[in-house]
Structure 1
Amino acid sequence: MRTQKLGTSSLEVPVLAVGCMRINTLDKAQAERFVGAAMEQGANFFDHADIYGGGTCEEIFADAVHMSSSVREQMILQSKCGIRQGMFDFSREHILSSVDGILKRLRTDYLDILLLHRPDALVEPEEVAAAFDELEQAGKVRHFGVSNQTPHQMALLKKHVKQPIVANQLQLSITNATMITRGFNVNMENETAVDRDGDVLDYCRLHDITVQPWSPFQFGFFEGVFIGNEKFPELNATLDEVAANHGVNSTTIAIAWLLRHPAHMQPVTGTMNIGRLQDCCKAAEVQLSREEWYRITRAAGNKLP
């Protein structure tokens, strides 16, 4: 699979990340086949979080790959922390204990990347900085990033955190694309022009922070997938036509739409279906034209001013 640098780091990663949030829906044999199929596609970047399955997803993954030092070196592991029952917690103590739990469940000595999950309103950047320093010095985490954060939230962290923020995992799909579409509605008197995220996409591009789109097939907030959905007839007709022109299917084109953006995004898949994962991986070799990209964008109901 085609690769790229993650943020400002020297870490070479596939352009697609394999999300493991639903791996607990598979039995052991199915999980083994799924992870094996991902590796065969060159999709060796696996995204986790300590809350997925209450931690069981990380354990299931480690069992599925028969984790060992030789297996570990063949993959890139990312996990997230900071969400607790009824609260968010970016305290030094919680970050450190969370990482220890993640490493134990994944049966590894280190994470390639640790992301802070949902923003903590009570964050004290000095505590985050202390935690990151300890984790880096101990060799437990090699790179750091965030998830669902605005430019000012990242800037506040960077005031104290010395490690580069290499990634920001954000909700983004063809139908949930306001961080893109507001960019061509600047100074317009319409709802699409409202800037609710502080131009997070531009900020990430300016600071070489890799955007990792999550839920790349979802519309709304986990309301369902848009592919094959009768609520999006024009979009699906357009995806099907563009897909036919490229000899792939609409799943591939939906990911290719994200990869076509010059921000060099790294979409995070969520499927546990091997066939669909393979369709997603094919997007790494599809280059949409400017005309195709805008046509798909318009078909999703995004009007150009």
Structure 2
Amino acid sequence: MTTEKDRTRDTGEERLLYGCMGLGGGWDTTPYGAAEIDQAEAAIQAALGIGITVFDHADIYRHGKSEAVFGEVLARTPGLRERIVLQTKCGIRLAGDDLPGMYDLRGEHILRQVEASLERLRTDVIDVLLLHRPDPLADPEDIARALGSLHRQRLVRGFGVSNMSAAQISLLQAHLDVPLVADQLELSLARRDWLEAGVLVNTAEAASVGFPEGTLEHCRAHGIQIQAWGALARGRYTGLEETPEERATAAYVTALAEAKGTTPETILLWWLQRHPARIAPVVGSARPDRIRACADAAGREPELSHEEWYRLWITARGTALP
């Protein structure tokens, strides 16, 4: 268990995060065992080994088992909790008990889920709590009361959101006494609508892009860290290519990696990090070898020129820019 002392770092200083969704076994309620704990420990140690100190969770990952196996590793590794930043999320309810999957940002649900996460993670404080998805029925004043209570009780140090637009962030922030510190979005060389929304303004294609324009700019203007989930594009450019555009992009990614003495995974992460918003990618693989392949994204500044960055984008989109 940690003591209530302020840490000198927060997620805003980190260039890379480790996403714990792959830990804990299957997406079911089957109990985890020693093998799942050992797998989690190997992944955590690989992440620490390349300099990652922020670990990203959610209460729903593997039905809570991701947090639970992480807590097991913390319990058997003295001093580890004081070396890391723990981030988790709440606000999604998985389907079950004759109820559909839904979003729930009612204050009472937030409080209940944080209590459960603290117990599973075997800690007395969460460094950053993200609201996982927008809940159309949410009352921002109710959310603010819950977050304020968690902050006053020193159960949560900081707050952020995930998958939210600039307008949704602004509405919530208007009711909060503490600043929102992060917005976690799906961003990658394969998921490019966050870029397309900006450059397709005043073009016929603009209506085809659903990303809320201005979200990245809002976060930059207000000091909100942009975190990128799905940053490695689910392997589309590192072995799982299917389309001509993906194969062409993978070939260029590999060529760049060889020229710069690094890995294809690093090139994909550098492409995000090269953006002036200083995007912090979340590495979600449970495989230690793939985690270690991201080492240069944690330890080196992005070595992509203006031209190389654009060529990656244009090759991946398969058509010239407007």
Q: TM-score, normalised by structure 2?
A: 0.86
User: What is the aligned residue count?
Assistant: 293
| Residues 1:230 and 2:246 are matched in the alignment | no
Write the distance in 2 (CA, Å) between the matches of 1:11 and 1:171: 17
What SS does the corresponding residue of 2:63 show, helix, strand or coil?
A: helix
Q: Distance in 1 between matches of 2:251 and 2:228?
A: 23
Shift of 1:65: 3.1
% identical aligned pairs: 40
Aligned position for 1:292? 308
SS of the residue aligned with 1:103? helix
2: CA distance between counterparts of 1:46 and 1:253? 22
Q: Do the aligned partners of 2:106 and 2:142 also contact (CA within 8 Å) in 1?
A: yes
Cα offset, 1:121, TM superposition:
0.5
The one-letter code sitting in structure 1 at the alignment partner of 2:314 is R
Q: What SS is found at the alignment partner of 1:24?
A: coil
CA RMSD of aligned residues (A): 1.9
Residue in structure 1 matching 2:269, options 251, 255, 259: 255
- Which residue identity is paired with 1:94? H
How far, CA to CA, are the matches of 1:107 and 1:196 in structure 2?
37
* Amino acid across the alignment from 2:316: A
The more displaced of 118-127 and 241-250 is 241-250
User: Is 2:279 the partner of 1:265?
Assistant: yes
**5+ long unaligned stretches in structure 2:** 1-8, 26-34, 95-100
Contact 2:183–2:224 (CA under 8 A) maintained in structure 1: yes
Q: CA 1:92 to 1:189, structure 2 compared with 1: closer, same or farther past 3 Å? A: same
Measure, in 2, the Cα distance between the counterparts of 1:61 and 1:225.
28
For residues 38 and 11 of structure 2, the distance between their equivalents in structure 1, rounded to whole angstroms, comes to: 31
1:90 and 2:105 correspond:
yes
Shift in Å at residue 151 of structure 1?
1.0
Structure 1 position 203, deviation (Å): 1.5
Q: Relative to structure 1, is the Cα distance of residues 151 and 67 closer, same or farther in structure 2, using a 3 angstrom cutoff?
A: farther
Change (3 A) 1:10 1:16: closer
**Contact kept? 2:166, 2:218, Cα under 8 Å:** yes
Q: Distance in 2 between matches of 1:67 and 1:162?
A: 37
The list of structure 1 runs, each at least 4 consecutive aligned residues, that deviate by more than 3 angstroms after superposition, is: 9-13, 191-196
Whether contact under 8 Å (2:75, 2:122) holds in the other structure is no
Q: Which amino acid is the alignment partner of residue 235 of structure 1?
A: T
Q: What amino acid maps onto 1:22 in structure 2?
A: G
The CA deviation at 1:66 is 2.6
Deviation for aligned residue 1:256: 0.7
Name the aligned partner's letter for residue 39 of structure 1: L
Match of 2:320 in 1: 303
